[in-house]
Amino acid sequence: METMLTAAAQEVMDRLYADDKRQRAAGLPSSERTRNIDYQSGRYLNLHLRMTRPRLSLEIGSSNGLSTIWLAAAAATFQGYIVGTEILTERAAQANDNLAAAKLADWATVRAGAAAESLADLTPESVNFVFIDAEKEDYSRHLECVLPLLAAGATIIADNVISHDCTAYQAYVRSLPGAESITLPLERGLELTCFPAAPVLR
Ligand SMILES: C[S@@+](CC[C@H](N)C(=O)[O-])C[C@H]1O[C@@H](n2cnc3c(N)ncnc32)[C@H](O)[C@@H]1O
């Protein structure tokens, strides 16, 4: 078995991957593309969640919800929940429509607006996993913003750390006391960081 996706989730994903491929083939500028995660990286996210079983996960940069579907499909297997964020209101609406079409709306929602504002109401130390996939130059700022929200033992995955220059983010995350980080050379590159099981630094 390659994945544990339901037929409904697989159908939505197939459609979104085909749309993303068409946008790239047409040479649309990145501002007009959905810029979805590569397939094997999505599978890795899904496996990571099923292995670590985070109760509450965040996603920074949800676009039209393809990676959110990978995360929500995992969360559905252990009663977890995903809060996604997307700065473009129309994309956030598409993400929620796609989650509903995939029959995963009980396990995830995407909030419209900039991540820092969208996540301001969350309880400190309540978040067990974060996926960072917004603009690469903002990764360190997003990390700084979520640090107070992290529960002990939280993990973070950031995409595109090989396809783009994310060295400032990688240096920052590696400088945090007790945090351990490794670059996984899968597709565009994933930075996987594990925070200590004791209370997280500020
Ligand atoms: C690479 S795409 C995300 C792709 C998505 N994770 C997926 O794989 O399907 C990056 C997205 O981040 C959004 N974004 C940029 N800055 C943001 C911010 N400060 N807060 C929330 N979303 C942001 C962009 O509008 C864009 O849709």
160 lines ligand 1 (CB under 6 A): no
Please say whether the dihedral angle defined by the alpha carbons of residues 63, 67, 73 and 76, taken in this order, is positive or negative.
negative
Question: Residue 1 Cα, ligand 1 centroid: separation in angstroms?
Answer: 30
Question: Residue 71 Cα, ligand 1 centroid: separation in angstroms?
Answer: 15
What's the pLDDT at 4? 84
Give, in order, the Cα–Cα distances in Å from 175 to each of 54, 122, 168, 179: 24, 25, 11, 8
47 lines ligand 1 (CB under 6 A): no
Question: Residue 62 Cα, ligand 1 centroid: separation in angstroms?
Answer: 5
Ligand 1 atom with minimal separation from the 42 CA: 8
What's the pLDDT at 1? 64
What's the pLDDT at 199? 55
What's the pLDDT at 202? 52
The structure's pTM equals: 0.97
Going residue by residue through the chain, which has 202 residues, state the pLDDT in tens, using 9 for 90 and above.
Answer: 677 899 999 999 999 999 999 999 999 999 999 999 999 999 999 999 999 999 999 999 999 999 999 999 999 999 999 999 999 999 999 999 999 999 999 999 999 999 999 999 999 999 999 999 999 999 999 999 999 999 999 999 999 999 999 999 999 999 999 999 999 999 999 999 999 886 555 5
Of 30, 37, 41, 60, the residue with max ligand 1 atoms within 8 A of its CB, to mutate for a pocket test, comes to 60
Question: Residue 37 Cα, ligand 1 centroid: separation in angstroms?
Answer: 11
What is the full DSSP assignment across 187-202? TT-EEEEE--SSPPP-
Domain architecture of the chain: domains with CATH: 7-26+36-116+125-194 (3.40.50.150)
Q: Name the phi and psi angles at 86, rounded to 5.
A: -145, 125
CA 100 – CA 8 distance, rounded (Å)? 10
